[in-house]
Structure 1
Amino acid sequence: MGAVNARSSRVVILGGGPGGYEAALVAAHLGAEVTVVERTGIGGAAVLTDCVPSKTLISTADYLSDFETAADLGVHLEDDEGDEVADARADLPEVNRRVLELARAQSSDITARLGEVGVRVVEGAASLVAPGTVRVEGADGADDGRLDADVVLVATGASPRVVPTAVPDGERILTWQQIYDLRELPERLVVVGSGVTGAELAQAYLGLGSEVVLVSSRDRVLPGEDPDAAAVIEDVFRKRGMEVLGRSRMAAVERVEGGVVVRLEDGREVTGTHALLAVGSVPSTRGIGLEEVGVDLLPSGHVAVDRVSRTSVRGVYAAGDCTGVLPLASVAAMQGRIAMSHALGDAVAPLQLGVVSANIFTDPEIATVGITQKDVDEERVDAEVLMLPLSRNPRAKMLGITDGFVKLFAQKGSGAVVGGVVVAPRASELIFPVTLAVQHRLNVDQVASTFTVYPSLSGSIAEAARRLHPIA
């Protein structure tokens, strides 16, 4: 493909999730004729069945946990007769109704925005029949025609991984996309998988009032995260009554009378009323013509892309979870925006994973950016590390926060902030100043000399930077 004239270009996007709709907005802004083909609704799984619903559910559970802290702050809830209320209660059907309504509202808002900028949305399943030709299949399986494109973006996402010995039934054995159909709170929920999704939803249901057992195949929960952060979260889980089974690999999940049984590889059995499977995801890349037109797939099934989202086929780009670059909605959106800027001739910078901030929505949350503790421990980066417990922060004391910390990584010599971890309520907000420091190569003295409000949780970030001041 030669130089592309954005004003006369036709862009077809397979998938309306964050990678797809953000790409569509950029392409439309640059003057292209844009069509998005989406099967289940604009926003994709991230908005309709995954990120937005799960974080809404978690927010409800977090709100309930505030009642536990209230008594420590001197606040007591009483009914009309003056008797103290022991527990707040979650009405799961009502909670799920709000969750799904919010997800649909977000999808509608995005759809409206696409319409405002002239993006055409086509309902159906898309596949490639040639690098510049997309076939659309309707809900009934009928061929709804072909779309010609100068640029194609594949943003088809991923779906929950299912293993033959633990097949979801949507009633008692559930994936994370099926939990919003529950009409009653699980009495005893067995969560299989202690990665991000498993940890988040295990704590959410614990907060909503379920008895929760978390089955982890590794030594600790959140095995891929900062070890100090993971230790805090596991400790919180146990203190709040969750049963955590470490080094316990699931062999099978079966439906039994009145519930489920999770069989472990060592012969143990864990019973529950429901099981939630959080054992990873698989990219939605098969059966949509990618291999047939020459798009290279990795052994995992993910689309191979470079840092500007190009695939091995000219004019075909890919973004989001189908690429396996980093399964975050923010990364998918950035990949999509970069793809369109590159394809349509606008100024563009390649994707920089080293400055991506990420968050785990447990309570407290875990937010990270830049290098990791593992990078330092394995001597890949020569950095000073400073961890400051939040329990010493005056604002944390006022809010009844006892768990969490701020950790900064500073490059030896220059003092440049090269990474950070925040474990705290709303860590997703607190990580932003650290991300700014990492992206713009600020040193610890520049961070430390910046005013913070007193008292504030962000004050601990400045304090950590002050303690990292290099001594000659």
Structure 2
Amino acid sequence: MRGTKVVILGGGPGGYEAALVAAHLGANVTVIDRDGLGGAAVLTDCVPSKTLIATADYMSEFETAHELGVHLQDQEGDDVSDAHAHLAEINQRVLDLAAAQSADISKRLEEVGVRIVRGSGHLASPTSVVATTEEGQEEFTAEVVLVSTGATPRVLASAVPDGERILTWQQIYELPELPEHLIVVGSGVTGAELAQAYLGLGTRVTLVSSRDLVLPGEDQDAAAVIEEVFRRRGMEVLNRSRMAGAERRGDGVVVHLEDGREIEGSHVLIAVGAIPQTAGLGLEEVGVELTESGHIKVDRVSRTTVRGIYAAGDCTGVFALASVAAMQGRIAMSHALGDAVSPLDLDAVSANVFTDPEIATVGRNAASMAGVAAVEEVMMPLSTNPRAKMLGINEGFVKMYCAKASGVILGGVIVAPRASELIFPIALAVQHRLTVDQVAGTFTVYPSLTGSLAEAARRLHPTRTN
């Protein structure tokens, strides 16, 4: 509805994408943001970490060049086997890139007429938001409110971060030099990604994992590949190990495990999840219902339990992905402003773990389909793909699922370099309910890694008709 007053709390992916949609639909939009447009995804999480990982990936090319017959030599003709990472320079590039991305987002919002208020906001009523800035307080009347305040690293009382030796993933970009020995506590996506990034940059890394395998929330065949790669490249992985606490000792740290063991290192990175930033926003006071974990309860069009108040992103606990936050924000504004909208479909979400190789997934996973007779599965190693051989790719696979009766593709997993780019064809198939025959009948380039996607679909055809 043109002229509708929309106030958005938080300028992360959920917030700024919602603002763009609302402005396009003619609303009067205000974004109240405390930390910088783009939120944690741009400033301290996705963009910085993936930039760091890209640098480590680049360095790995030096290590594998000789396998392709390429030898790096100095001016005297001697082979050069090691590249050296200058962390201060790397971190400066990381932060500069994040700041530039944030500035681009801010400029885009201003171009479409969105007002940006630098400060923090809270709900005074379901239709009133108060912003606190350096100049004081300002109250905004709102017909629609979107809360997209994100989450922050979980802090344990037994391992309080100090920003120097005991670190969260938001603090690592202030390190002046590479840690001599980094202990990473937590083997979920953030822990695994950053552990391998620092390993690739030349740091000795110990990964403390409470589970049987790293990446417990991912496809277990994929997790097994990544853990084997970690170990082969020199990372120490401590499975079935839980941290009891961490403290500074001299010029380093010591991590105490629950079984009594101690691990000494130069730094420790705590990556044990995140908590929603929903406290102090006035949510419960105006009737917005929260879960026991503090997340905002929302439905599939991002409505909270109070009319006119919506929520998006990590503060909802729906799916901690920037892409999901952005989709929630867009859906919220389309619904609130009367535009055509489809409810959020989590069965079509594609996600990626930026390890090396990467793990990309979309649709139903193996755990949800275990023992379901109506589902067919095929798994193909990339080692048989001609393009993979040319590129020196030795690990990885393509896995695809389909409904046995119809052949409709339900999901897939790709473990490969740049799997994040390769998953899109399967994501299209899942989103639009394509069959394995439709995918198999689509031309692919030869040779290409995508050829394995078509081959997987072809292999599902005879199994489905048996």
TM-score by length of 1: 0.97
Give 1:378 shift. 4.2
Match of 1:227 among 220, 225, 232: 220
Are 1:280 and 2:268 an aligned pair?
no
Give 1:258 shift. 1.2
- The aligned amino acid for 1:56 is T
- The aligned amino acid for 1:446 is Q
Match of 2:424 among 432, 437, 445: 432
4+ residue runs of structure 1 moved beyond 6 angstroms? none
- The aligned amino acid for 1:396 is A
CA distance in 2, matches of 1:206, 1:407: 28
Where does residue 198 of structure 1 map in the other structure? 191
Cα distance per residue 1:305-343 (max 9 Å; x no partner):
000000000100000000000000000000000000000
Cα distance per residue 1:242-271 (max 9 Å; x no partner):
000000000000011010000000000011
- The aligned amino acid for 1:120 is R
Where does residue 248 of structure 2 map in the other structure? 255
Q: Is the 8 A contact 2:298 2:305 kept in 1?
A: yes
Match of 1:390 among 382, 407, 416: 382
Where does residue 325 of structure 2 map in the other structure? 332
Cα distance per residue 1:370-424 (max 9 Å; x no partner):
1111122243x72111000001100000000000000000111111110100000
Please give the secondary structure, in 2, of the residue aligned with 1:408. strand
Where does residue 80 of structure 2 map in the other structure? 85
Cα distance per residue 1:161-180 (max 9 Å; x no partner):
00100000000000000000
Are 1:416 and 2:408 an aligned pair?
yes
Where does residue 404 of structure 1 map in the other structure? 396
Match of 1:30 among 25, 29, 33: 25
- The aligned amino acid for 1:9 is T
CA distance in 2, matches of 1:371, 1:173: 37
CA distance in 2, matches of 1:79, 1:15: 51
Q: Is the 8 A contact 2:179 2:266 kept in 1?
A: yes
- The aligned amino acid for 1:383 is V
Where does residue 2 of structure 2 map in the other structure? 7
Where does residue 48 of structure 2 map in the other structure? 53
Where does residue 172 of structure 1 map in the other structure? 165
CA distance in 2, matches of 1:183, 1:295: 43
Q: Is the 8 A contact 1:135 1:143 kept in 2?
A: no
Where does residue 3 of structure 1 map in the other structure? none
Q: Is the 8 A contact 2:374 2:405 kept in 1?
A: no
Please give the secondary structure, in 2, of the residue aligned with 1:121. strand
Q: Is the 8 A contact 2:302 2:311 kept in 1?
A: yes
Q: Is the 8 A contact 1:387 1:464 kept in 2?
A: yes
Give 1:66 shift. 1.0
Please give the secondary structure, in 2, of the residue aligned with 1:331. helix
Where does residue 443 of structure 1 map in the other structure? 435
Where does residue 19 of structure 1 map in the other structure? 14
Match of 1:306 among 299, 319, 324: 299
Where does residue 112 of structure 1 map in the other structure? 107
Are 1:471 and 2:465 an aligned pair?
yes
- The aligned amino acid for 1:448 is A
Please give the secondary structure, in 1, of the residue aligned with 2:97. helix
CA distance in 2, matches of 1:260, 1:409: 45
Where does residue 68 of structure 1 map in the other structure? 63
Give 1:145 shift. 1.5
TM-score by length of 2: 0.99
Extract unaligned runs of 5+ from structure 2: none
Please report the RMSD computed on the Cα atoms of aligned residues, expressed in angstroms: 0.8
Extract unaligned runs of 5+ from structure 1: 1-5
Give 1:131 shift. 0.6
CA distance in 2, matches of 1:471, 1:21: 47
CA distance in 1, matches of 2:371, 2:295: 28
CA distance in 1, matches of 2:367, 2:39: 34
Where does residue 356 of structure 2 map in the other structure? 363
CA distance in 1, matches of 2:271, 2:312: 23
Q: Is the 8 A contact 1:376 1:382 kept in 2?
A: no
Where does residue 212 of structure 1 map in the other structure? 205
CA distance in 2, matches of 1:382, 1:284: 41
Give 1:471 shift. 2.9
Report the number of matched residues. Answer: 464
Give 1:144 shift. 1.7
